[in-house]
Structure 1
């Protein structure tokens, strides 16, 4: 089994961290400290080692430490597949995020080819009871972990859709303005749908094959209206047929952006949205672990796991089971909690960090 973990992480003027440095040994990290100390900021920094806007979906400007607003910088040495990569991520005075891999300027999407990062944060606890957009984003993060090109297809689709929506709002009826955009939407849209379906199949296999203390979830991708066309050509035709209706709505009503992820607690046959808070949390943990197991099989190494306040809504037995599964996977999990005692059953299997804050500046300590 190959290893995937950060050997070092340094933060400069990132959120509440004016300066911070962490040296890692590949074990899980138990990060504890009071609320507001800056624990989640560390996890957010690690999340930026994958494509996208990070676990908070914040702008580069919002990540800069205040009041200096000088910009920020993250550097890390990433062990991946027997190679060590030097990664530099920065934003200068509110500018767009810049990525360098092994001292060469790179696109964010290049990160997906050398690292896999999954996360579970408290705002996701309401995933099953809020809007479809959050569930699509959750599914797309898992899909991206399997298929690095998924990010490019998503960007292409959204760009074409924005331009088409602009035409719809302006009540442009000439079909020649739509043809190229709809063809691009259809090609990238069907790639998105196919990748999502394959990701769900891999998650299902990973759940079925596992012995775990967490409940399995049956997942289904559904369309909010009608069915998803079978081919790119069919989707292109559906977009053309829907122009008049879309013009009334001033937005596109056909395509993978109209999909929703439906989840069911498999053993009980209860829709996830109707489960208890604890059951919903357990289902999310189960899916993250299934995603990690599938990646271990396909990628050859477990992903980095970011689990913020992971103990919330988990009883002591399930916490212990979670830690056992993480260690069995061999994953470098970055976990936060308010008290060290929450990680007691990890014992010597983890590295411990304490985060404190004074005067608006976070400090990272290695407790004895």
Structure 2
């Protein structure tokens, strides 16, 4: 699917913004502060999670608005045979509400179900420090990639975290905890964790295969290593997590033995919530965090492009890709190569930049919009 129409109401700096686009490259230009990144963020919110900024709902409301916001997108399939009706998805927050509303064709649904309609990837300037930050940042990155291939991953992780929070709370009770209740919670955690670990391992394996196939890529080649956050002696195999009968009692045994320690510390020390994605520069055999800033950018861009290929192969169509201020950090030759690669993917790519000249080689078929200080969209 691609986004053929987008509407923002009282979202961030946008009072009322609407635009229509085609598949292919969609380019947003304008000075800093006119709302380009806000448009990309709105699209990122049309998937499970809190978008690429990870913002609280209250931060998304336009200050001069009435206390709520709405984002709506009309989706069309990239290629169809016969007549297929478009799908409208959207999220919103009504004034004084504490949680967002999610709708598909006007029918309320869960945020996790959005991944069934649209796979969305992004690359933003804030991600430049991915390899330098703590494990939690890379874990969120890993889960975003995993979600685009295994949509149920979000549901399993949500249930796992809920059970883990209950376990932590029970361990902290001054009067002691009920071991039978803990048994039930740890069983629930293990059921979800088995799926989480399996999906992540599958993602890393399949993504590594995609990277190895890109022999002629102009961007740095990455080696990926997954730390599961728990000592797993043998990698999971088989067709699904359900075919791993030994992993769940193994996890339950670890958590049962660590109850006293976890109670003293106040948190669960082992589990998929402690996982990390390690990345190395293949040609240099060097950890990514020890490479130059430019090399880290190239590694990250190469990872994203490999993931686009993987999604296209697994889902039968490419994802919607959001690239915020990426063109400005590439030399003209690599910029032109990037545009050629993106056009060849056949999906929809939203790009932003301050200068329209950055996109001179983007091709005549690109949809181009310029935002001014009044946030009026015009073709350029």
TM-score of the two chains, using structure 1 as the length reference: 0.94
Aligned mates of 2:251, 2:169 — CA distance in 1: 20
Matched, 1:129 2:132: yes
| Equivalent residue, structure 1, for 2:87 | 85
Give the alignment of 1:77-226 within 5 angstroms. 77-80=74-77, 82=80, 83=84, 84-95=86-97, 96-171=99-174, 172-210=176-214, 211-223=216-228, 226=231
Check whether the contact 1:17–1:363 (CA below 8 A) recurs between aligned residues: no
| Equivalent residue, structure 2, for 1:66 | 63
| Equivalent residue, structure 1, for 2:25 | 28
2:12 to 5, 12, 15: 15
Gaps of 5+ in 2: 237-246
Give CA deviations for 1:160-196 in whole Å, capped at 9, x if unaligned: 1111111233353442231111111111111111100
Q: CA deviation at 1:223?
A: 4.6
Aligned mates of 2:192, 2:230 — CA distance in 1: 20
Aligned mates of 2:142, 2:8 — CA distance in 1: 29
Aligned mates of 1:175, 1:65 — CA distance in 2: 48
Q: CA deviation at 1:226?
A: 4.3
Aligned mates of 1:12, 1:34 — CA distance in 2: 21
Aligned mates of 2:171, 2:331 — CA distance in 1: 51
Check whether the contact 2:229–2:272 (CA below 8 A) recurs between aligned residues: no
Give the alignment of 1:285-364 within 5 angstroms. 285-358=301-374, 362-364=375-377
Alpha-carbon distance change, 94 to 63 in structure 1, aligned in 2, over 3 angstroms:
farther
Aligned mates of 1:317, 1:190 — CA distance in 2: 45
Give CA deviations for 1:314-345 in whole Å, capped at 9, x if unaligned: 22222222111110101211111110111121
Give CA deviations for 1:66-85 in whole Å, capped at 9, x if unaligned: 12243111221101364421
| Equivalent residue, structure 2, for 1:46 | 43
TM-score of the two chains, using structure 2 as the length reference: 0.91
Check whether the contact 1:278–1:314 (CA below 8 A) recurs between aligned residues: no
Give CA deviations for 1:241-273 in whole Å, capped at 9, x if unaligned: 111111121110111111111000111111001
| Equivalent residue, structure 1, for 2:379 | 366
Give CA deviations for 1:42-93 in whole Å, capped at 9, x if unaligned: 0011112211111111122221111224311122110136442112321111
Aligned mates of 1:232, 1:315 — CA distance in 2: 50
Check whether the contact 1:44–1:54 (CA below 8 A) recurs between aligned residues: yes
| Equivalent residue, structure 2, for 1:274 | 290
Aligned mates of 1:298, 1:154 — CA distance in 2: 21
Aligned mates of 1:366, 1:169 — CA distance in 2: 59
| Equivalent residue, structure 2, for 1:253 | 269
Check whether the contact 2:197–2:228 (CA below 8 A) recurs between aligned residues: no
Aligned mates of 2:115, 2:37 — CA distance in 1: 22
Aligned mates of 2:17, 2:29 — CA distance in 1: 15
Alpha-carbon distance change, 86 to 17 in structure 1, aligned in 2, over 3 angstroms:
same
Q: CA deviation at 1:286?
A: 0.7
Q: CA deviation at 1:106?
A: 1.4
Task: Note the aligned Cα RMSD (angstroms).
Answer: 1.6
SS at match of 1:200: helix
